[in-house]
Chains A and B, each alone.
Chain A
Amino acid sequence: MLTLLRLASFCFLTLGALCAMAGQSAPKRVVSLNLCADELVLALADKSSIQSVSWLVADPQMSFYADEAGGLHLNRGGAEEVLSLHPDLVVAGTYTTRATRTVLEDHGIPLLILELPESLVEVFEQIRTVADHLGRQERGAGLIAELRRQIEALRVPVQWRGLVYHPNGFTNGAGTLVDEMLAITGYENVASASGVQGFSQFSLERVVMNPPDVLVINQVAEDLPSMADQILAHRALKRSSLQIVEVPFKAWTCGSPALVEGLRILRSATGGQEEISR
Chain B
Amino acid sequence: MKSRVLNTVLASSAIVLAAAGMTVGPVDLPVGEMVGQLFAGERSASTIVFLELRVPRGVLGLLVGASLGLAGAAMQGLLRNPLAEPGIVGISGSAAFGAVVVFYSGLAALFSLALPLGGIAGAFVGVMVLFILSGRQASTLTIVLAGIAVNAFAGAATALALNLSPNPYAAFEIIFWQLGSFADRSFEHVLFAGPLMAVGWFMLLWRPGDLDALSLGEETAASLGVSLPHLRFRIIAGASFAVGAAVAVSGVIGFVGLVVPHLLRPLVGFQPSRLLLSSALGGAVLVLAADIFVRVLPTATELKIGVVTAIVGAPFFLLLIYRLRQEEV
Interface residues of A (CB under 8 A from B): 167-169, 201, 203-206, 208-211, 221-231, 234-236, 239-240
Interface residues of B (CB under 8 A from A): 25-27, 43, 45-46, 48-49, 52-53, 103-104, 106, 108-109, 165-167, 169-170, 172-173, 176, 184, 186-188, 300-301
Q: At the interface, is chain A mostly helix, strand, loop or mixed?
A: helix
By the criterion CB–CB under 8 Å, are A203 and B169 in contact?
no
- Contact among A168, A169, A210, A211 with B169 in the assembled complex (CB-CB below 8 Å): A168
Q: How far is the CB of A4 from chain B (nearest CB, A)?
A: 42
Residues of B within 8 A of A167 (CB): 169
- Contact among A205, A208, A223, A227 with B173 in the assembled complex (CB-CB below 8 Å): A227
New contact pairs (14) apart from A208-B49, A225-B109, CB-CB < 8 Å: A169-B184, A203-B27, A205-B27, A205-B49, A206-B27, A209-B45, A221-B167, A222-B109, A224-B165, A224-B167, A225-B167, A226-B170, A227-B173, A228-B169
Q: What are some 27 contacts across the A-B interface (CB < 8 A)?
A: A169-B184, A205-B25, A206-B26, A208-B48, A209-B45, A209-B46, A224-B165, A224-B170, A225-B103, A225-B104, A225-B109, A226-B167, A226-B170, A226-B173, A227-B103, A228-B167, A228-B169, A229-B167, A230-B184, A234-B53, A234-B184, A234-B186, A235-B187, A236-B52, A236-B53, A239-B48, A240-B45
Q: Complex Cα distance A153/B146, Å? A: 68
- Contact among A205, A226, A231 with B165 in the assembled complex (CB-CB below 8 Å): A226
Q: Complex Cα distance A227/B170, Å? A: 7
Closest Cβ neighbor of A210 among chain B residues:
B45
By the criterion CB–CB under 8 Å, are B186 and A205 in contact?
no
Residues of A within 8 A of B27 (CB): 203, 205-206, 209
Closest Cβ neighbor of B189 among chain A residues:
A230
Q: How far is the CB of B250 from chain A (nearest CB, A)?
A: 11
- Contact among B43, B52, B165 with A235 in the assembled complex (CB-CB below 8 Å): B52
Q: How far is the CB of A81 from chain B (nearest CB, A)?
A: 21
By the criterion CB–CB under 8 Å, are A203 and B26 in contact?
yes
Closest Cβ neighbor of A231 among chain B residues:
B184
Q: How far is the CB of B58 from chain A (nearest CB, A)?
A: 14
Residues of B within 8 A of A169 (CB): 184
By the criterion CB–CB under 8 Å, are A208 and B53 in contact?
yes
- Contact among B104, B165, B166, B186 with A236 in the assembled complex (CB-CB below 8 Å): B186
Closest Cβ neighbor of B102 among chain A residues:
A225
Q: Complex Cα distance A221/B167, Å? A: 9
Q: How far is the CB of A15 from chain B (nearest CB, A)?
A: 37
| A226-B48 contact in complex given A205-B26, A206-B27, A235-B188, C-beta closer than 8 Å | no
Q: How far is the CB of B173 from chain A (nearest CB, A)?
A: 5
Q: How far is the CB of A165 from chain B (nearest CB, A)?
A: 12
By the criterion CB–CB under 8 Å, are A239 and B300 in contact?
no
Q: Complex Cα distance A61/B273, Å? A: 59
Closest Cβ neighbor of A239 among chain B residues:
B48
Q: Complex Cα distance A228/B53, Å? A: 16
Residues of A within 8 A of B300 (CB): 201
Q: How far is the CB of B278 from chain A (nearest CB, A)?
A: 33
Residues of B within 8 A of A226 (CB): 104, 165, 167, 169-170, 173
Q: Complex Cα distance A277/B255, Å? A: 46
Q: Complex Cα distance A221/B165, Å? A: 13
Closest Cβ neighbor of B45 among chain A residues:
A209
By the criterion CB–CB under 8 Å, are A229 and B45 in contact?
no
Report which residue of B106, B169, B187 has the largest number of chain A beta carbons within 10 angstroms of its beta carbon. Answer: B169
The 7 closest A-B pairs by CB, nearest first: A236-B52, A228-B169, A203-B26, A224-B167, A226-B169, A226-B167, A205-B27
Closest Cβ neighbor of B107 among chain A residues:
A225
Q: Complex Cα distance A236/B47, Å? A: 10
Closest Cβ neighbor of A204 among chain B residues:
B184
Q: Complex Cα distance A76/B49, Å? A: 44
By the criterion CB–CB under 8 Å, are A208 and B45 in contact?
yes
Q: How far is the CB of A190 from chain B (nearest CB, A)?
A: 13
Residues of B within 8 A of A224 (CB): 106, 165-167, 170
By the criterion CB–CB under 8 Å, are B169 and A205 in contact?
no
- Contact among A206, A223, A228, A236 with B106 in the assembled complex (CB-CB below 8 Å): A223
Q: Complex Cα distance A204/B48, Å? A: 11
Residues of B within 8 A of A231 (CB): 184
| A235-B186 contact in complex given A205-B26, A229-B169, A240-B48, C-beta closer than 8 Å | yes
Q: How far is the CB of A218 from chain B (nearest CB, A)?
A: 11
By the criterion CB–CB under 8 Å, are B169 and A239 in contact?
no
Q: How far is the CB of A236 from chain B (nearest CB, A)?
A: 4
Q: Complex Cα distance A277/B176, Å? A: 31
Q: Complex Cα distance A236/B25, Å? A: 15
Q: How far is the CB of B53 from chain A (nearest CB, A)?
A: 5
Q: How far is the CB of A35 from chain B (nearest CB, A)?
A: 13
